[in-house]
A = this chain, B = another copy of it.
């Protein structure tokens, strides 16, 4: 017991640069439930590639800053070390860092807000997990979603934090929409699937998606398989139901389903045919939740990964014995 207490007081300086870098990279990897520094490295490479290739380099640097700030916050607030060790402080922060430069104008207030918001996610996550642990579930990326929504909405009331990119962004989408069609072309469909994966980090690039899939592959074959299935099945479902072509083509109906698929298919249940059916149901349900949220989000605010969180909770809360695994879904890093 005493030893544990001592251990939990380990500070950043005890770890050295590489120890800390490892924790940061794991934080990136945990966005898709993988506590592996290698996975995180592939994800970061994907983010940088995608951000630079679409001429929005600030998104990549924002991601790095968000990851740093949220991880540091955990150390500063003396939170339980075990969580930090597995990268669980960083995954919300890196997403905040991707979202702010994507949706808000590049000025000092944006960067200060990014720092505040990334830090917030670390203790909001603790708070939400405190609320949810009795239901045996986890807050997933919802701290990122809730905190980012607050700041994006606030930007509509305070012009110092203006959302200048949004109009441009929407226009950009519109242009693409016109010359993009489902042609049955396999290469094109593979691109859509890969874009769906990269959109988890708000990146719209099939190359970035390929890097991220590689990152999954080096850590968990099943996570890789379910990410592909999640992206493919959700895009097809959205297509069949007549969702807007442009959104589907840019992976906007797929990214939440990618996360649902990894969560249900390979993280909280042991892969088998029963859990596979369960995960497929989850993927299809995510598409409906995504469409519903697209309908109600005010002022064109993005749904972020809320459809994934909502759907996965719906599928975990009943604590059904789909496989033989424990029904406690309050943490995934203890399952490895």
Chain A interface residues toward B at CB < 8 A: 77-79, 109, 113, 116, 120, 123-124, 126-128, 130-131, 134-135, 149-161, 238, 240-244, 281, 284-285, 287-289, 291-296, 298-299, 313-321
Contact = CB atoms under 8 A, between A and B. Distances in A.
Nearest to A131: B135
Consensus secondary structure, chain A interface: helix
Nearest to A307: B150
A318 B130 contact: yes
Q: Which of A113, A242, A294 has the most CB of B within 10 A?
A: A242
A246 to B, nearest CB: 12
Nearest to A311: B150
A155 B241 CA distance: 9
B158 A241 contact: yes
Nearest to A299: B295
Contact of A317 (B127, B150, B293, B294): B127
A292 B127 contact: no
A238 B291 contact: no
A210 to B, nearest CB: 28
Nearest to A124: B314
A224 to B, nearest CB: 27
A123 B317 CA distance: 8
Closest 7 CB pairs of A and B: A127-B317, A160-B242, A153-B292, A154-B291, A126-B318, A157-B291, A159-B242
A289 to B, nearest CB: 6
Contacts of A135: 130-131
A216 to B, nearest CB: 28
Nearest to A320: B77
29 contacts: A78-B320, A78-B321, A116-B281, A116-B284, A116-B285, A116-B288, A123-B314, A124-B317, A126-B319, A126-B320, A127-B313, A127-B314, A127-B318, A130-B135, A130-B317, A130-B318, A130-B319, A149-B292, A151-B288, A151-B292, A153-B292, A153-B293, A153-B296, A154-B288, A157-B243, A158-B238, A158-B243, A295-B299, A296-B298
